[in-house]
Amino acid sequence: MASKTTDAIKLVLRLPKTLHKRLKQQAKRNNVSLNTEIVNQLHGYEAEAVKRTTEIVQPLLEEAARASATIAAEVAAEAALLGIFRPRTEDELLERLEQIDASKEFVARARAAFRASQAAKEPEKK
Q: pLDDT tens digit string along 44-86?
A: 867 777 888 899 999 999 999 888 888 777 777 766 666 666 7
Q: What is the pLDDT of residue 42?
A: 85
pLDDT class for 25, splitting at 50, 70, 90?
A: very high
**What pTM did the predictor assign?**
0.36
Would the pLDDT of 17 be above 70? yes
User: How far is 113 from 119, CA to CA, in rounded Å?
Assistant: 10
Lowest pLDDT segment from 27-31, 34-38, 82-86: 82-86
Q: How many CB atoms lie within 10 A of CB 93?
A: 21
